[in-house]
Amino acid sequence: MFDILTAIFHDDPLQYGTTCCLREPQTTAERQVKGRLDGLDRADAEELESRIEALAREQGERAFRSGARFGAQMMAQLLEELS
């Protein structure tokens, strides 16, 4: 937990992992994207897949940070009301 808070404080990349994996799709959206990628030639599909996974990581980190900030603000408000 301390590592995650330190990364958030210093705006470093988070190392908690992103669940998006187009090589072994788990969700409906991942299967749909994988189906489209399979229709492309190999070089284009690999480049697009890496860009999609980078975007998913970026969005995942942004969502995590937003949730962590919201949680911290809510906790601060609750503690302020208790004081």
Instruction: Summarize pLDDT for 15-50 with one digit per residue, the tens.
Output: 655 566 777 887 788 889 999 999 999 999 999 999
Q: What is the mean pLDDT of the chain?
A: 83
Query: pLDDT grade, residue 13 (50/70/90)?
Result: low
What pTM does this model have?
A: 0.61
- The reported pLDDT for the residue numbered 39 is 93
> What are all long-range contacts of 22-31, with beta carbons under 8 Å and residues at least 24 apart?
22/49, 22/52, 22/53, 23/49
DSSP annotation of 14:
P
> What does the block give as tokens for 76?
């601060």
